[in-house]
Amino acid sequence: MHELSLAGGIMRVVEDAAAREHFRRVASLRLEAGALAGVEVRALRFALDAIAPGTCLEGATIEIEEPPGRAWCLRCCESVAIASRADPCPQCGGHQLQPTGGTELRVLDLVVHDQ
């Protein structure tokens, strides 16, 4: 389950921000895990909940947005929505797709408390 290592990376990002910005607790954390990012969102949420106790994320509300996948079809020269990297182009049925969106896993924002 690579989501546990992803959760650890997210925790490091939050802890680095806490050290740099001098806050102690996170009230809410908003993430983006695109449909093409290769992340099982339920497993990521479980992993974050598992590592949060005793950290600045303890008790924080965690929101994970899941933007859809987008790709550029090299065959029909269209930007199309796809659910997975294995999907064919919904316009022409071709498989020459270059992902252009929904591939990201990133921290969008934090709402924090000083104490």
pTM: 0.85
CA distances (Å), 23 to each of 7, 34, 43, in order?
A: 20, 28, 27
Q: At what angle do helices 3-21 and 41-51 cross, to 10 degrees?
A: 50
Which run of H or of E encompasses 109?
Answer: strand 105-113
Summarize pLDDT for 60-79 with one digit per residue, the tens.
999 999 999 999 999 999 99
The domains of the chain, with CATH numbers, are 3-68+102-113 (3.30.2320.50)
Q: What is the mean pLDDT of residues 9-29?
A: 95
Q: Which residues contact 10 (CB under 8 A, 6 or more apart)?
A: 29, 31, 48, 107
- Res 113: pLDDT: 84
